[in-house]
Amino acid sequence: MTDKLLIILRGPACSGKSTLARTLNAAVVASADDLFQPTPTDPYQFDLTRLQEAHDMCMATVEGAMVDQKSPIVVDNTNVKKRAMRHYIQMAKNFGYTVEFREPDWSPLLKKDGKWNTDFLIEQSKLRALASGKVVEPHVIVSQCEKWENLDDPKKPAPGGNVFFTSDSHFGHRRICEYSNRPFTDLEKHDNVLIHNWNSLIMPQDTVYFLGDLCFQGSQYAERIIPRLQGHIFSSKGTTIRPLSPTERSLSGGGRCWR
């Protein structure tokens, strides 16, 4: 197990995320619901006007735990959309945490034909309301299920992400520093700085259209670089034209990809 771990829970309301969180031996469990129910014995008092405040508080809790190097840290929110997780993923990168995604799987009835079973979740919400007084309206559950984004969907421009256009990184090109006056004498340092700068700007669900000359060396070299770059990457032909391997195509968006 990694020394520093961030576990991001995902699932619609009443799917059992909080129950799952209690089984993970977490050093810290952070949830936006903590604002509306500070302790398990307090009544749950949801206030839509304070929802952003609740998520800001949750992110602050996670960041504070990372500063203190606590592990594992669990984020217990619905995280229906990929964009809801972007700040946690970026914080994990900044503080050197590995990220794992977990969904409740305590019952085979949670999903039907690969999708969340709204009827079963609504029944669970009724049972929870009787037990704890926490009420989740059926339309909320239905909406969350309809908007759900699977992590294993084919790479595509992510909803809510930014779109970037760039070119001419020339990973693995020993002479590019001389040609373009780049301040490096070591190729590995050149590539590492480019990757760091890329990931400092590009978030995981951003879309990047790369317009040519991604990598100068062969496809095996590119296959080592591409997985280290954040974002959904779509490449086009540049002046250094050579088709990417099937592995590179799958990593960089699945379209016609060239370097």
- 145 Ramachandran zone, left/alpha/beta (phi>0; psi -120 to 50): alpha
Please give, one letter per residue, the 3-state secondary structure of 183-221.
Answer: CCCCHHHHHHHHHHHHHHHCCCCCEEEECCCCECCCHHH
Q: How does pLDDT run across 64-84, given as a tens digit for each residue? A: 999 999 999 999 999 998 878
Q: Which of 18-32, 132-146, 226-240 shows the lowest mean pLDDT across its residues?
A: 226-240
Using 50, 70 and 90 to split pLDDT, how confident is the model at 134? Answer: confident
**Percent of the chain surpassing pLDDT 90:** 37
The answer to whether the CB of 82 falls within 8 A of the CB of 205 is: yes
- pLDDT range class, residue 236, cuts 50, 70, 90: low
Query: 3-state class of 79 per DSSP?
Result: coil
Residue that wins the pLDDT comparison between 236 and 246? 236
Which of 99-103, 204-208, 248-252 reaches the highest mean pLDDT?
99-103
pTM of the model: 0.60
Q: Note the pLDDT tens digit of each residue in 11-37.
A: 999 999 999 999 999 999 999 999 988
More confident call, 232 vs 31 = 31
Confidence of residue 251 (pLDDT cuts 50, 70, 90): very low
| Domains and their CATH numbers in the chain | 5-146 (3.40.50.300), 163-251 (3.60.21.10)
CB 163 within 8 A of CB 206: yes
Alpha carbons within 13 A on the beta-carbon side of 53: 7
Terminal-residue alpha carbon distance, the chain: 36
